[in-house]
Amino acid sequence: MTKDECKKVVLDIIADIAPDEDLSNVKPDVRLRDQLQLDSMDFLDIVMELRKRHGIEVPEAEYQQLASLDSSAEYLTPKFNALAAKS
Amino acid sequence: MKHARIVITGVGLTAPNGNSLTEFRKNLLTGVAGIERLDVRYMGSLLAGVCHYDPLKYQKKKDVRVGTRAGSISVYCAREALADSGIDFTTVPKDRVGIYIGCTEHGNVETENEIFNISKFNYDTKYWSHYHNPRTVANNPAGETSLHLGSTGPAYTIGAACAAGNMGLIHAAQMLRLGEVDFAIGGGVSESIHTFGIFAGFKSQNALATHEDPKRASRPFDLARNGIVVSEGGCLYTLERLEDAQARGAKIYAEIAGYCVNSDASDYVLPNPARQAECIRKALAQAGLKPADIHIVNTHATATPLGDIQECEAIRAVFGEGCPDTHINNTKSFIGHCMGAAGALELAGNLPSFNDLTVHPTINVDNLDPLCALPGLVLNQPRQVAKVDTILNNSFGMLGINSTLIVKRFVP
């Protein structure tokens, strides 16, 4: 998985949990909370959907890695690739 | 003790056969029922009353996703009632608004959904939703409504089984009289069709209706009735003290005349006609009315073989043969049993009678059960009558809770 593909995975999840938001111009380097109406429960949703859909675990201490699309891709892409290598 | 006069100034509703009072009433007068087939988890296709309001009329998609069906129904009904009341809600002090919503049950839908959800993950509870608790707390429907409206006064639900719809109204009137709030939103809601448990429970009680034609399935008082049709719905009213309503020139639907809530203290599920009759009599006494003064009695009857007979026994004991101007009807024959919303919806369906002097019938009665043959029963066709100044609304529930609410034509 590339980092761009990883961003797409995250955006797909956000599209489901924040269906009123326009995601066409999300800036990858800006904190998601600063450009979208997302609260702490929504971030728990992102964590839950990563777990349910992709088998990816994000420990609580590392939630801040999901702050922006760029940081999410940086953090999650190796996890996706490690998972793919295992299977 | 002299109480403040409390009036109903707005109605917002969604029923299986209508999403506004106008549409609902039209269907009650033209015999249009709203029962359909619904696929119920684990059970397959069952009969149910499903509401078809547009949740996105007032809520964002995210609010619908995060919240509950009961919360969504509550928000819809509250906004419709506020719009109907004509009040400029921006001018109402939000800490003086009370929200009182009757519920038969709450939380079962979300709990069943989550158990189903984790069943797909080998029952690993780490997949259990973090929304479970805010969705299942008993105050959820009222809480979602206060969040939506930005009202900061008391907002809670009243658990009273199937008497709950009346209870929301009664409690609102009480809080206005106590001066706890200055503006109240009260009534009842139900999301029950989204839980298989209520269907399965009634089925195990042999109390779930079946019929090849869904619209004929709910048939209180008919000899062939065979149980309840479970429905969802909601009906919330705006209520105000008379002087406040008059000061703003509000339209007034009706005045609260009297009420009673009592308990059978006799059985988990079987009704008690003696206590029901006592409830009706006490409501009449509080209203300062005699049985013959009541022009419409809206029955609770749910179409269970025994329950209908027992309510008829209670009504017969109070009204007897000497009430020629008392007309008796039933709304569940159109919409099934809307549980926590039933009492509130059923009252709403009769309120227009003050203006059109027409009593909506109970439908689907092909062969009247002789044990339900009350004088004044309005069967299958609406009845034009000379006078409608009073409506008495019965709602009874499991664990033996009874509620009777009487409203009267507003006369300054």
Q: Based on the domain organization, do B326 and B203 belong to the same domain? A: no
Q: Which residues of A are less than 8 Å from B126 in CB distance? A: 51
Q: Which residues of A are less than 8 Å from B131 in CB distance? A: 41
Residue B321's pLDDT is 86
Residue A86's pLDDT is 86
Q: Based on the domain organization, do B216 and B350 belong to the same domain? A: no
Determine whether B148 is an active site residue. Answer: no
Residue B1's pLDDT is 66
Question: What is d(CA B396, CA B398) in angstroms, rounded to the nearest whole number?
Answer: 7
Question: What is d(CA B78, CA A9) in angstroms, rounded to the nearest whole number?
Answer: 38
Q: Do residues A80 and B155 lie in contact, with contact meaning Cβ atoms separated by under 8 Å?
A: no
The single residue listed with the structure tokens 């609304």 is B393
B210: tokens are: 């079946």
Which of B65, B121, B129 is opposite residue A19, by nearest beta carbon?
B65
A17 touches chain B (CB under 8 A): yes
Which of B61, B129, B130 is opposite residue A20, by nearest beta carbon?
B61
Chain B residue nearest residue A49, CA to CA: B127
Domain count, chain B: 2
Residue ranges with strand state E in B183-271: 183-190, 230-231, 233-241, 254-263
Determine whether B300 is an active site residue. Answer: yes
Q: Based on the domain organization, do B327 and B363 belong to the same domain? A: yes
Q: Based on the domain organization, do B214 and B363 belong to the same domain? A: no
Q: Among the three residues B247, B270, B302, which one is the final residue of a domain in this structure?
A: B247
Distance from CA of B62 to the nearest CA of A (A): 6
In this prediction the pTM is 0.97
Q: Based on the domain organization, do B63 and B121 belong to the same domain? A: yes
Could you tell me if residue B252 is inside a domain?
no
B325: left (phi over 0), alpha (psi -120 to 50) or beta: alpha
DSSP B172-186: HHHHHHHTS-SEEEE
Q: Based on the domain organization, do B275 and B242 belong to the same domain? A: no
* Structural domain of B366: 258-408
Q: Based on the domain organization, do B33 and B168 belong to the same domain? A: yes
Could you tell me if residue B49 is inside a domain?
yes
pLDDT tens-digit profile, chain B (412 residues) = 678 999 999 999 999 999 999 999 999 999 999 999 999 999 999 999 999 999 999 999 999 999 999 999 999 999 999 999 999 999 999 999 999 999 999 999 999 999 999 999 999 999 999 999 999 999 999 999 999 999 999 999 999 999 999 999 999 999 999 999 999 999 999 999 999 999 999 999 999 999 999 999 999 999 999 999 999 999 999 999 999 999 999 999 999 999 999 999 999 999 999 999 999 999 999 999 999 999 999 999 999 999 999 999 999 999 998 899 999 999 999 999 999 999 999 999 999 999 999 999 999 999 999 999 999 999 999 999 999 999 999 999 999 999 999 999 999 9
Could you tell me if residue B1 is inside a domain?
no
Q: Among the three residues B193, B221, B247, which one is the final residue of a domain in this structure?
A: B247
**Residue A29 in 3-state DSSP?**
coil
Could you tell me if residue B118 is inside a domain?
yes
**DSSP structural state of residue B293:** G
Q: Based on the domain organization, do B89 and B201 belong to the same domain? A: yes
Question: What is d(CA B47, CA B377) in angstroms, rounded to the nearest whole number?
Answer: 26
Q: Which residues of B are less than 8 Å from A20 in CB distance? A: 60-62
Q: Which residues of A are less than 8 Å from B66 in CB distance? A: 41
Q: Based on the domain organization, do B171 and B81 belong to the same domain? A: yes
Q: Based on the domain organization, do B194 and B81 belong to the same domain? A: yes
Tens of pLDDT along A15-53?
999 999 999 999 999 999 999 999 999 999 999 999 999
Q: Do residues B298 and B346 lie in contact, with contact meaning Cβ atoms separated by under 8 Å?
A: yes
Distance from CA of B97 to the nearest CA of A (A): 27
Asked if the Cβ–Cβ distance from B62 to A44 is below 8 Å, we say no
Which CATH number is B317's domain given?
3.40.47.10
